[in-house]
Amino acid sequence: MEQREGPVSTIDASFVAASLDEGTRSFYRLLDHIGMLAAVVDDEGRIAYCNPLLLELTGWSADEVLGRKFELFLAPEAVADTLEAHRAVLAERPEAARVETEIVTRAGRRLLTRWSNTVLRDADGTPIGSAHIGEDITERRRLETHAAESEKRYRQLFYASPTPMWLHDRETLRFLGVNAAAIAQYGYTRAEFLAMTIADILPEPERALFAERRKAVAPGAAGDTQADPAVAHSGIVRHRRRDGSVIDVQISSHPLEFAGMRTRFVLAHDVTSHFEQQHKIARLNRIHAVIGGISSAMLRVRDRNELLLEACRVAALEGVFPMAWVAEIDARDRSHAIVASFGPDRAAISLVQNAIRDVFPVVAPRSDGTPSRRPFIVNELAAEPAVAGVREELERRGYGSGAAFPLQVGARNVTALVLLAREPGFFDADEIALLEWMTADLSFALEHIEQSRRLEDLAYYDPLTGIANARLFRDRLEQFVLAARETGEKVSVVVVDVEHFTRINDTLGREVGDELLRRFADRFDQGLVEPYTFGRIAADTFALASPRDQAQVATRLRDCVFELLEEPFEVGGQQILLAVQAGIALFPADGADASAVFQSAESALKIAKANGERYSYFSIEMNARLARRRALEDALRTAIDDRQFVLHYQPRVDLRNGALVGAEALVRWEHPDRGLVPPAEFVSLAEETGLIGRIGEWVIDTVCAQQAAWQQSGLGVVPVAVNLSAFQFEGGDLLRTVREALATHGLQPSLLDLELTESAVMKDPAAAATTLRALRALGVKLALDDFGTGYSSLAHLKRFPFDSVKIDRSFVTDITTNPEDAAIATAIIAMAHRLELKVVAEGVESEGQLRYLRAEGCDEMQGNYFSPAVQRAAFEALLRSGR
């Protein structure tokens, strides 16, 4: 029998038997190195051979076991069975070829062994013993038992686990087993599951994608979807349940070799609600990011529209809202103006705003009429009738929900932040609360910006009229002047003063005054054409500047502004006519820079006022005059304090017989340096400054004192007339002053005359009439001075209790040469006589004038022809002479 050598691992007892003929020693040497347990037992059951592994395992030496019965190795309860098994081996019964038996080591340790047994025969075929090749399977069995138990426990775990699990074939993706939880989770029966593949539980888009990926990964083969099928993986996927609903599933997938199959063991935990929660948290986090961005913009950006744009930009860039814009909605006609927007889909803006125009609740007034501050939320496009017309279009563009948050709600306008979101139902309570919070902040920031803009405006604009204030006006004038320097052109500056504004304020109230100024500014502003600039530089003073020359501005003033003011203003039910005076100056003639030319315009205004003109130009000469006037004013104050005034008296005579019938007291100023200053040089200034009141009182008192003194000295006195200024009439103290003067000096009222002009009574005719009647009742005679120069109204003559009319000197002067003046004089005489008023002619200087006036029936006369105004002593002499 030829010796064959085979791999040790596959050796079995039949091979040993086949080798027997080669000689016992070589056979045993083979078994020595077989790598398994090996023993040879003779036909009587005595141990003929044990290989080293068996000896090592059992703890015996070869000498101790050879020749002994093999029961030596057996546990007592296994002996009977093993002997029986040995007999079966010798009888070559097939069931005996492999046995498992428990052996006992020399130390008494029990081991489970498995043996392959074969009979040994001699050359005749007679059984001479048996060979046994075995292995220690103690550990393996222990492991196997454990594994079985574990498998059992595992199976229990699998089927009873609350976590949905399954096992699927990695090749075919067919489900091999599913647990009860998975059945419950997906809604399929076990049988249905086992007939499906993974693809069947994927929702539609994923399913198609999955199929593609499978083709790509393993073309033509049904491979695993993962790149490396032997690797565990996990993640969140979307699965479709039997009822069609889609759930988010946390997958944990492990490769598993099972019953010869390459499978995957998958845990599929439904995290839909959990996932939604996380998704929501992520969404809220993104909104927080938007709020953070907008908050930082609020700190940074100071311009309203820039801030709104930044808010839209942040909202869009944070990825929360694909489109964001701010609309200004007119609460009355609901028209939208887009103030800022961000996002690629501008068409969506008009789509939405057109759709919600008529129902936009942001502007829907509440019951009290104020617009709502609530946001307008559309979470379900299908459920919102306002967007019904554009629902499909919105969906096509990928929008699922939208909202509008009011930012600022005014009586007229509502500013709203409009946001569009991809997913439907984006705006639930938490999102809305956050966004409302943010929009409230944004509103606050906008109001703050508005506030600071108003503050800034205050620095440059007049809060009452809204036009430029003095500061801004001067700034703009500066610009004009700088430009004019470049071009060599001129700049006109006009300062306009509203006449008697203080009185309007006093009599009609501040509110009417304010409204009047507003209307005035409006009208003025509208009446002017660019490039004018117009500002309010003081309470009732306005200024305008124009890069045009003086004459043009003057023309414009006359044609435009004065014309505009011909229409009365209607304020508080009253018609009020405003009169203005203007001063005009020119750059560069009247000033080398903006501020100098502006000052010149102010001076020109003062000149206009002083001369009673509607407007006046400025010139160096005029300015000098103004300076003189200022000096005069100071001097005048001193004059009053120091009593530097004297009275001159001009006699008044009867025109028919030349008898002295009266006199006119005319004031003069005895200036310490300049000598005697005539009233023409200081009376108007005294009127402007109000100093005329004190001067007038002094005149009345002095005349009364003088008359009383003359009377006491036994002179035949005549009535003396005192000139009254309009200012004295306004004060209202006139009656008292006269009464007190008469009383103080014990003078009969008939010795005092008062002269006043029509304009003096016309400021307040009713009050004047009352005062004049009271004076007249005292017994004081009244003369209407300067008749013919003013209104020259017959009605005035009738209305007021005058005793005489004085024909103004201007008519008398040319009465013999100018037929017109002669006619006027004649008319005045006739008219006055019809009203039973005496007529006095002023300024009669010649015989001719005298004759004419006498011929026309004039009653009395004053003039140089008879006597100029003379000093007290001279008049006293005249009285004494008794002429």
Measured from the CB atom, is 310 or 755 closer to Ca ion? 755
Q: How far is the CB of 745 from Ca ion (least distance, A)?
A: 22
> Secondary structure of the chain: what % helix, strand, coil (to 5)?
50, 25, 30
Residue 785 in the binding site for Ca ion (CB under 5 A): yes
Residue 753 in the binding site for Ca ion (CB under 5 A): no
Terminal Cα-to-Cα distance of the chain (whole angstroms): 199
Token reading at 460: 């440059």
Strand, helix or coil for residue 436: helix
The listed partner (Ca ion, ligand C2E, none) that binds 650, CB under 5 to 8 Å by sort, is ligand C2E
Residues 757-796 that bind ligand C2E (CB under 6 A): 785-786
Q: How far is the CB of 783 from Ca ion (least distance, A)?
A: 8
The full DSSP string for 437-453 is HHHHHHHHHHHHHHHHH
DSSP H or E segment with residue 654: strand 645-654
633 Cβ neighbours under 8 A, 6+ residues apart: 685, 689, 691
Residues 511-540 that bind Ca ion (CB under 5 A): none
How far is Cα 206 from Cα 326, in angstroms, rounded to an integer?
38
Residue 666 in the binding site for ligand C2E (CB under 6 A): yes
The listed partner (Ca ion, ligand C2E, none) that binds 864, CB under 5 to 8 Å by sort, is ligand C2E
Q: How far is the CB of 647 from ligand C2E (least distance, A)?
A: 7
Residues 708-737 that bind Ca ion (CB under 5 A): 723
How far is Cα 94 from Cα 607, in angstroms, rounded to an integer?
149
DSSP state of 46: B
CB–CB of 583/601 below 8 Å? yes
**By CB under 6 A, which span of 547-555, 735-743, 816-824, 842-850 interacts with ligand C2E?**
842-850
**By CB under 6 A, which span of 281-289, 505-513, 857-865, 874-882 interacts with ligand C2E?**
857-865
**What character string, x for contact with ligand C2E (CB under 6 A) and - otherwise, covers 677-716?**
-xxx--x------------x--x-----------------
Residue 845 in the binding site for ligand C2E (CB under 6 A): yes
Beta strands 468-469 and 98-104: pairing type? unpaired
The listed partner (Ca ion, ligand C2E, none) that binds 401, CB under 5 to 8 Å by sort, is none
Tell me how long the chain is.
Answer: 883
The listed partner (Ca ion, ligand C2E, none) that binds 603, CB under 5 to 8 Å by sort, is none
Measured from the CB atom, is 527 or 788 closer to Ca ion? 788
Residue 725 in the binding site for ligand C2E (CB under 6 A): yes
Residue 52, preceding peptide bond in cis (omega within 30° of 0): no
Q: How far is the CB of 519 from ligand C2E (least distance, A)?
A: 36
The listed partner (Ca ion, ligand C2E, none) that binds 859, CB under 5 to 8 Å by sort, is none
Measured from the CB atom, is 581 or 862 closer to ligand C2E? 862
The listed partner (ligand C2E, Ca ion, none) that binds 50, CB under 5 to 8 Å by sort, is none
Residue 869 in the binding site for ligand C2E (CB under 6 A): yes
With CB under 5 A, what is the number of residues at the site for Ca ion?
A: 5
What sign for the dihedral angle of Cα 530, 535, 541, 544? negative
Residue 531, preceding peptide bond in cis (omega within 30° of 0): yes
CB–CB of 73/55 below 8 Å? no
Q: How far is the CB of 705 from ligand C2E (least distance, A)?
A: 14
Q: How far is the CB of 640 from Ca ion (least distance, A)?
A: 21
Q: Which among 697, 705, 771, 703 has a CA at the least distance from the CA of 737?
A: 697
Residues 631-650 that bind ligand C2E (CB under 6 A): 650
Measured from the CB atom, is 268 or 724 closer to ligand C2E? 724
Q: How far is the CB of 665 from ligand C2E (least distance, A)?
A: 6
Q: Rounded to 10 degrees, what is the CA torsion of 158, 160, 163, 167?
A: 30
**By CB under 5 A, which span of 242-250, 516-524, 652-660, 777-785 interacts with Ca ion?**
777-785
With CB under 6 A, what is the number of residues at the site for ligand C2E?
A: 23
Q: How far is the CB of 720 from Ca ion (least distance, A)?
A: 12
What sign for the dihedral angle of Cα 123, 125, 130, 131? positive
Residues 134-173 that bind ligand C2E (CB under 6 A): none
Burial class (CB in 10 A: 0-12, 13-18, 19+), 198: buried
Q: How far is the CB of 843 from ligand C2E (least distance, A)?
A: 4
Q: How far is the CB of 761 from ligand C2E (least distance, A)?
A: 14
How far is Cα 621 from Cα 605, in angstroms, rounded to an integer?
14
**By CB under 6 A, which span of 209-217, 424-432, 729-737, 837-845 interacts with ligand C2E?**
837-845
How far is Cα 341 from Cα 349, in angstroms, rounded to an integer?
9
The listed partner (ligand C2E, Ca ion, none) that binds 667, CB under 5 to 8 Å by sort, is ligand C2E
Sheet holding 165-169, edge to edge: 175-178, 165-169, 261-270, 246-258, 233-240
461 Cβ neighbours under 8 A, 6+ residues apart: 467, 468, 469, 472
Strand, helix or coil for residue 222: coil
Token reading at 593: 């820079």
| Orientation angle between helical segments 692-712 and 734-745, nearest 10 degrees | 30
381 Cβ neighbours under 8 A, 6+ residues apart: 387, 391, 394, 395, 399, 400, 401, 424
Q: How far is the CB of 721 from Ca ion (least distance, A)?
A: 7
**By CB under 6 A, which span of 251-259, 304-312, 535-543, 840-848 interacts with ligand C2E?**
840-848
Residue 786 in the binding site for Ca ion (CB under 5 A): yes
The listed partner (Ca ion, ligand C2E, none) that binds 862, CB under 5 to 8 Å by sort, is ligand C2E
The listed partner (Ca ion, ligand C2E, none) that binds 699, CB under 5 to 8 Å by sort, is ligand C2E
Q: How far is the CB of 503 from ligand C2E (least distance, A)?
A: 20
Using CB under 6 A, list all residues that contact ligand C2E: 650, 666-667, 678-680, 683, 696, 699, 723-725, 785-786, 809, 842-843, 845, 862-864, 868-869
Using CB under 5 A, list all residues that contact Ca ion: 723, 755, 785-786, 842
